[in-house]
Amino acid sequence: MADQHDTDLLIIGAGPTGLFAAYYAGFRGMSVAIVDSLPELGGQITAMYPEKQILDVAGFPSIKGRELVEGLVAQATTADPAYFLDRTATTLTEEDESVVVGLDDGTEIRAKAVLITAGIGKFSPRALPAGDGWLGRGLEFFVPSFAPYAGKDVVIVGGGDSAFDWALHLEPVAQSVTLVHRRDAFRAHERTVQAVRDSSVEIVTRAEVSALHGNGVLESVEITVDGETTTRPAQAVVAALGFIADLGPLQQWGIEVQKRHIVVDPSMRTNLARVFAAGDITEYPGKVRLIAVGFGEAATAVNNAAVVIDPTAHVFPGHSSEGS
C-alpha cells in the first residue's frame, strides 16, 4: 500500500518562491508539504549558483545565493513543512474537495490545494560538443564552489549571466580566466559585462572551444576563432551554455501551458480547480521573471488558495506586522 500524507497545501518546487510560499502558508495557518526532485532545498540556486551574488531581493543590496536560501529555509521552518525531497510529482487527480498527487516512489499526497513553484521544471545543461568524455575530468557545467579553481587556468564558454558571473568571481582565484563566446554580443547584464571587461579576464568572441586535451585530466584546450585554431593551457573548462528545461509529467496533468510555462490568472490560479502556480514557471501578460516577483506571486497564490481551502477565510489576511 502506498504511503499517504494529508495536508492543506502541497507546494511542488523547493526553490526561493516555494520556500517563501511555505512560510506564508504557515502564517495563514495552513499545514504544508513540499515536493522537489532535487535532494536539497533551494532549487536552481543551491544546485548551480550558491556563491552567486543576487542583486534583486528587496532589503538586500547584495546577498549570496547560499545565504538567501538559508534565510528562506529558516523562515519556512516556522510553518513546520513536511519535505519530500529527491522525489518527483508524477500524477495529479482531483477527488471530491481535494487533489491527490502521486510521487515517483509511490507516495500519495492528498491536498486541499496545490501550488506549483517548479521554476523552469527539471533542467539539464546544454552539452559542449568538444567536451564529450571530459565531464568530471576538467569539464564542469556548474561552479558551486570557487576553491577548486585556485591557481588554475580556467576557460569559461558562454555569453550569459552565469558565464560572466563565474568569470568575475573566479578572476581573483584562478591563475587566469578566459571567456569564450561564439558571438560579439552577450546576453549577460550590462553591468556584469562591463565589470568583466574591466578585470583581467580575457574575452574571446566569434570563437568556440573546438577540442580538449590531456592525459587523464585536462591540460589544454583548442580555441578556434574565424577558422584559425590556437592551443592554450587549461586545467578547467566551465560550459555555461544554458539549459534544456522540461516540465516533465506536469504536461500530462491537463494544465494549460504556453511555451513551457503555466498560464495563470491574476490570482495565480491555473485552469485546474485547486491548482495554483507562482514564480518563474508562470506565464501571463507582462510577466517578469525575477526572484522578487516570485515572492509576491507566492503570497498572492497562498492568499487565494486560503479561500479555496477554507471558504470562510478571507483573501486578505491583514498585515503580518499588525498585532493581535
Residue with cell 569559461: 156
6 labelled ligand-binding:
no
Residue 225 to residue 38: CA distance in whole angstroms: 38
**Cα gap 18→35, rounded to integer Å:** 10
Q: Record the cell numbers describing residue 6, joined without a space.
A: 494529508
| Under 8 Å between Cβ of 294 and 17 | yes
Q: Is 316 annotated as a binding residue?
A: no
The answer on whether 252 is annotated among ligand-binding residues is no
Burial class (CB in 10 A: 0-12, 13-18, 19+), 316: exposed
Please enumerate in sequence order all residues whose Cβ is within 8 A of that of 151, keeping only pairs 6 or more positions apart, or say none. Answer: 174, 175
Report d(CA 248, CA 44) in Å as an integer.
16
Q: Is 229 annotated as a binding residue?
A: no
User: Is residue 123 annotated as involved in ligand binding?
Assistant: yes
Per the annotation, does 74 bind a ligand?
no
| C-alpha span between 67 and 43 (Å, rounded) | 13
For residue 17, say whether it is annotated as part of any ligand binding site: yes
Q: How far is CA 29 from CA 25, 211, 282, 294, 298, in A?
A: 6, 57, 25, 21, 15
Whether residue 186 is annotated as binding a ligand: the answer is no
Residue 110, SS3 per DSSP: strand
CB under 8 Å to 152, separation ≥6 — which residues? 174, 175, 235, 236
What whole-number distance in Å separates Cα of residue 55 and Cα of residue 62?
5
For 122, the enclosing helix (H) or strand (E) is: strand 122-125
Known binding-site residues for FAD equal: 17, 36, 44, 49, 89, 123, 280, 321
Q: Which parts are annotated binding residues?
A: 17, 36, 44, 49, 89, 123, 280, 321
